[in-house]
Structure 1
Amino acid sequence: METKVKAHVAPWKFEEVKTLKGLIKSKPVVALVDMMDVPAPQLQEIRDKIRDKVKLRMSRNTLIERALKEAAQELNNPKLAELANYIERGAAILVTDMNPFKLYKMLEENKSPAPVKAGQIAPCDIKVEKGSTGIPPGPFLSELKRVGIPAAIEKGKIAIKEDKVVVKKGEVVSQEVANVLNKLGIKPIKVGLDILAVYEDGIIYTPDTLKVDEEKLYNDIQLAYQQAMNLAFNIAYPAKEVLPLLLQKAFINAKAVAIEACYVSKDTAPDILAKAYAQALALASKLPDEALDEEIKEKLSSQPVVEEKKEETPKEEEKKEEEKKEEETAAAGLAFLF
């Protein structure tokens, strides 16, 4: 008769899963963060900065997965269990009341520059800029040349002759390149808590969704608002933001019609009188001097002289062209007589 051996599970693991489940249930936003590459001093500094806004707990990946699935089952929330699919590397549970976008921004702002290590994948192009290194001549000059960095001795120091990309984004950093970058004091990466995924209200957000270009977003919203205002104004949509402009336009149009129709009101009277005055002066300017009194003559003399260029109508142009042709024909006929 075969005897089944029951696997022994350490009691502390049950307690850890219980603690993690309590943490998961305590806040509406649950995140998985990767903290594998964060040095202990920087991790402690980050935790001190965010302590009042989030709760963070490191644990084994297997226990985090178990806690997520059990919490999801107890809450009857299958979507929460899917968060376990994003566990990788040195994962930790983070819970907060902050919305996922604010959480992502806060964690990004609390990252700090760090040297790159051999074997790491470059998160961006790593460039060495030209200029003096401040390092005296020695073996380091050869090290620079071995990794493809043009260098020479200038004023008793090693100088880099031109800007050089030593590692492209996505490439693996070699040991030689890592050594050179460290000696130059170049810290091309930022270390901190990297979000793997965030759960909130039935939705799982990944870093590519949470990374928002705020300036572009602001400009897009501003442009959309302006376009919406223009459309609403042109179709006379009576929104509260558009109504003042529509009323202003209606007033201007109504006043223009009233002035043209000589409808006298307190708003149009000054414009109608000004229009009548201008027309009267224009008419007076067509009359002979003896028909005008001194006051009118004085007013006419003070008016700017505008020379109006008389445009010839197409018929007048055609008539002149025909007259010109007739003159040319007559001239040619006279020439035959001699």
Structure 2
Amino acid sequence: MTNITTERRKIPAKKLAYQERFLSLMKEYKKILLIGADNVGSSHFQSVRASLRGEAIILMGKNTIVRKILHQNQKEFPDHAQMIPKLSGNLGFVFTNGDIQAIRRKILDNKVGAPARVGAIAPCDVSISPGATGLGPELTSFMQACFISTMIVRGQIEVKHKVDLIKKGEKVSPSHAALLTKLKMSPFSYNLTVPYIFDNGAFFDADVLDLSEQDLLRSFSEGIRNVACISLATNYPTLASVPHSICNAHNTIFSISVACSHPYHATKKIIRLLDDPEALQEAIAAASAAEAAEAAAVVAVDDGEGGVDDDCCDCPEDDIFGGPLFGSDEDDY
């Protein structure tokens, strides 16, 4: 019986050096930006590196190697394992301990114009404005083949109307690429993208950084509203539902007081008016006259100034609960 022995494959020194470099950066830096490098040239990449020098370090590498490093060192870096499912495509890593928002802005603002290449996916709409093109009359047939209406003015081709040549997401055809090259147009611009961010153990989509304070307040308000609805539906009191429960209870007491003609400080005037029909008619007439006067004043303001002042709203913009529960302290019951 022959013993077959297999010699263990030797790991190249270059991969070992990359592993040591990657692990040392993970130990030194607590924040990592995953970057996409599609359609980015070497000179463009160098300019990005120069802009981040002293603030961050860019490290590229094969996704398979990075996955293996993260798997093998998962006990030492358990939080970094969150990046493994997202490692696909032409990705790189930006290690930093500085302000993530500032680093991301520098990366995204560094754009380079590029011509339209055949087969490329258009990142934006491309159109040709009417006017002189600088092309000679011999290219008239070529323009007509691209379904562009032209005319000859002073020995050169002019485009009559605006032409929407390529839509965002479409592939660039050979004729479109040739036309844009002849017009010396570089309609596309590319930059490094930042799809994901790792920050002190938290891994999230980079679009979270674009949320404003108003967006956060709106989401917080919707969350409070949902909690209050569920609490009221299940009769389970919470801090969000207690004000509504008190309001509903007060409405019930108010209705019972009016129905039973048993007044308290909030229903004294209403019950007095219900018991005196003449006084009720006078109150209704006075209220109608007041509404008519207010409507006339609003129309006058609209005609004179072109709109109603926003300051007339009693509810402050930053009050996410819709104002006071029972009115202001000056309300007369």
TM-score bin, normalised by smaller chain: 0.5 to 0.7
2:149 is aligned to 150
TM-score w.r.t. the length of structure 1 is 0.59
Percentage of identical aligned residues: 21
Q: Does 1:227 align with 2:317?
A: yes
Q: How does 1:5-24 map to 2 (within 5 A)?
A: 5-24=7-26
Secondary structure at 2:189's aligned position in 1? strand
Distance 1:219 1:74, change over 3 A: closer
* Structure 1 residue 230: Cα displacement: 8.3
Tell me what 1:185 maps to. Answer: 184
d(CA) in 1 for partners of 2:62, 2:146: 39
Residue identity matched to 2:108:
E
Change (3 A) 1:126 1:7: same
Distance in 2 (alpha carbons) for counterparts of 1:194 and 1:89: 12
1:62 pairs, out of 55, 61, 64, with 64
Which residue of structure 1 aligns with residue 304 of structure 2? Answer: none
Partner of 1:51: 53
Amino acid at match of 1:16: Y
Distance 1:12 1:232 in 2: 63
Contact 2:51 2:106 in 1 (8 A): no
1:227 partner SS = coil
Mapping 1:313-332, distance limit 5 Å: none
Q: Does 1:111 align with 2:111?
A: yes
Give 1:292's aligned residue.
none
Checking the alignment, whether the CA contact within 8 Å between 1:65 and 1:87 is kept in structure 2 is yes
Checking the alignment, whether the CA contact within 8 Å between 1:136 and 1:156 is kept in structure 2 is yes
- CA deviation after TM superposition for structure 1 residue 16, in Å: 0.8
Shift of 1:132: 1.2
- Distance in 2 separating the partners of 1:96 and 1:70: 23
In 2: Cα distance, 1:25 partner to 1:134 partner: 58
CA RMSD of aligned residues (A): 3.5
Q: How many residues align?
A: 238
Counterparts of residues 264-283 of structure 1 (less than 5 Å): none
2:166 aligns to what? 167
Aligned-residue offset at 1:98:
4.2
- For structure 1, list consecutive stretches of 5 or more residues without a partner in the other structure: 238-245, 255-338
Shift of 1:56: 0.4
CA distance in 2, matches of 1:69, 1:101: 29
- 1:256-307 alpha-carbon deviations (Å, 9 max, x no partner): xxxxxxxxxxxxxxxxxxxxxxxxxxxxxxxxxxxxxxxxxxxxxxxxxxxx
What amino acid sits opposite 1:188 in the alignment? P
Instruction: For structure 2, list consecutive stretches of 5 or more residues without a partner in the other structure.
Output: 223-314
Please state how far the C-alpha of 1:211 moved relative to its aligned partner.
Answer: 7.0
For each residue in 1:94-148, what CA deviation from the matched residue of structure 2 results, as whole angstroms up to 9, or x when unmatched?
A: 1123455444333221223222222111122222222211223233x33333333
